[in-house]
Amino acid sequence: MRSRPAPTSRPVSGGPDAASEKLGFRPLYAQVRDRFVQRLVEGAWQPGQMLPSELDLAAEIGVSQGTVRKALDALASERLLVRRQGRGTFVAEHDEARILFQFFKLRRDSGERSFPESRILASGRVPARADEREALALAAGDEVVRIERIRLLSGEPVLVETLSLPATIFGTLAADEVPNNLYGLYATRFGVTVSRAREKLKAVALGEEDAAALGVAAGTPALLIDRLALSLEGTPVEWRVSRCLTEDHHYLSDLG
Amino acid sequence: MRSRPAPTSRPVSGGPDAASEKLGFRPLYAQVRDRFVQRLVEGAWQPGQMLPSELDLAAEIGVSQGTVRKALDALASERLLVRRQGRGTFVAEHDEARILFQFFKLRRDSGERSFPESRILASGRVPARADEREALALAAGDEVVRIERIRLLSGEPVLVETLSLPATIFGTLAADEVPNNLYGLYATRFGVTVSRAREKLKAVALGEEDAAALGVAAGTPALLIDRLALSLEGTPVEWRVSRCLTEDHHYLSDLG
DNA sequence: TAGTGGTCTAGACCACTTC
DNA sequence: AAGTGGTCTAGACCACTAG
């Protein structure tokens, strides 16, 4: 686990050494965590796969079980792994349940939540606009896959959204293969795991087109959600701007 | 620490016992955590106060240092305690910096965030309306302290809000003593710690009064934030409905 | 220098799941 | 019964802060 001296058979007995020579100090369990993340990024550990037991991992790396445990617990709290007592530790999957819980904050006012169905309005690979280049950190001349769709809850249209994806990653995405659960597709087809996102919310008046698509009058107030989704490595992989009707729905945010 | 047998001098040697007799199983560190929360609720540990060291607490309760550590770490992750290496463990305070970070999600579009100043429009103790009774779980005939105020960022009015507080707790709150940082006052004057809140967001069109107060045209889209704040014990202590202009501001939500 | 929290280890036992 | 993660303990040492 240390970065400099060649590990002998039983390397670590106290704390870190190479790390403490520098000013920065990175605990052993954090280094182990990073090593595990690397395996996820490389795809050595696939979604749904069961990891070796804590003791096996500890023996392989040459640290104690407790240190491996801290690393695995950290990754579980980041929702990259799922731990189940008696069964094992697994790589998290982007199934609908997880998306619904982690990334979909819109609820019926009654409190129930359901996964929205989607209807594609337009889709294609086009040169990135300036705002798309800025959001996704692209260079001039880069392309994006741009998707416009409408989403319905219980059959009612509640939002229209525009998605912009870097063509360098998603260039081969065809319009007719856009599923309801996009993040699952990103993972299985492109090996990209969306691990977190930041959303900026505003209130706006709907324009003519959006209003028509949603079947309401132009000028109707709508919740604007500007989402930037980041991969495991922290690079932006999706920019999504949604305009939502909030007559019967709300965005739920838990603080604290 | 066990709930049934009278503890002798050195009680615990393995795991829980009384707990495992029942179907439910509550780990030792969770019981220790609960015991610490109780001290916070009772006010035995005051905001800003330094706690005894881990070893002292462990000796007092009769568990190992590691178990006390897990309990303290849990409370620190709930932001009820603040731990600082080399200094000690302290009871968290509701200073402006914490409020700004934990409860105030409105940002300038430029990204900077600042604490808004407040201007009281109206304030008084009145019978609770039906919606207030429902939000705060009050009974018919109960009273609330209702406050209407406007808040400004960099001198610009950005939101109007209505706060409803149970009079049973905050009945003695006078209009002229409402500070900018309310949660700090709740803690110091009423012994109530706001530990978490849930917010529901919608987009609405401003009514005549709100629009006039904010100096914009009626019908301007605004972000409606409906916040219910909960105390340490989990009881609702404040209901707050804000209408925010989002021309130059947005609500920031981090997912993942 | 002393005291605090933070890390790491080692080993025992408990709770849960599966065979 | 075997294997997994979860809890608990005990003790050593490290990093940070303050007097």
Separation of B64 CA and D9 C1' (Å): 6
Average pLDDT for chain A: 90
* Residue B42 scores a pLDDT above 90: yes
Instruction: Of A69-73, A112-116, B17-21, B94-98, give the range with the top mean pLDDT.
Output: A69-73
* Residue A247 scores a pLDDT above 90: yes
For strand D, is any atom closer than 7 Å to the CB of A256?
Answer: no
Chain A positions touching B222 (Cβ under 8 A) are 203, 221
For strand D, is any atom closer than 7 Å to the CB of A49?
Answer: no
User: Which tokens is B132 given?
Assistant: 């207030």
Output B27 or A7, whichever has higher pLDDT: B27
B222 touches chain A (CB under 8 A): yes
* Residue B9 scores a pLDDT above 70: no
| Nearest residue by alpha-carbon distance to C1' of D17 | B86
* Residue B14 scores a pLDDT above 80: no
Measure the CA–CA gap between B93 and B65, rounded to whole angstroms: 25
**Model confidence band, residue A175 (pLDDT cutoffs 50, 70, 90):** confident
Identify which of A204, A205, A223 has the shortest CB distance to residue B202. Answer: A223
The pLDDT tens digits of the residues spanning B52-66 come to 999 999 999 999 999
Side-chain half-sphere CA neighbours of B97 within 13 A: 3
Residue A206: closest C-alpha in chain B: B221
* Residue B2 scores a pLDDT above 60: no
Measure the CA–CA gap between A94 and B80, rounded to whole angstroms: 32
Q: Are the C-beta atoms of A71 and A62 separated by less than 8 Å?
A: no
Q: Are the C-beta atoms of B126 and B144 separated by less than 8 Å?
A: yes
The pLDDT tens digits of the residues spanning B112-150 come to 888 899 999 999 999 999 999 999 999 999 999 999 999
**A50 DSSP 8-state letter:** B
Residue B194: closest C-alpha in chain A: A256
List residues with CB under 7 Å of strand C: A 10, 12-16, 27-30, 63-67, 70, 84-87; B 14-16, 19-20, 25, 51, 53-56, 66, 69, 72-73, 83-89
Say which residue the tokens 């002292």 belong to.
B56
Q: Are the C-beta atoms of A73 and A85 separated by less than 8 Å?
A: no
The structure's pTM equals: 0.90
Cβ–Cβ gap A196/B252 under 8 Å: no
The pLDDT tens digits of the residues spanning A176-192 come to 888 889 999 999 999 99
The pLDDT tens digits of the residues spanning A197-243 come to 999 999 999 999 999 999 999 999 999 999 999 999 999 999 999 99
**Model confidence band, residue A24 (pLDDT cutoffs 50, 70, 90):** low
* Residue A23 scores a pLDDT above 90: no
For the ranges A48-57, B82-91, B108-117, B247-256, the lowest mean pLDDT is seen at B108-117
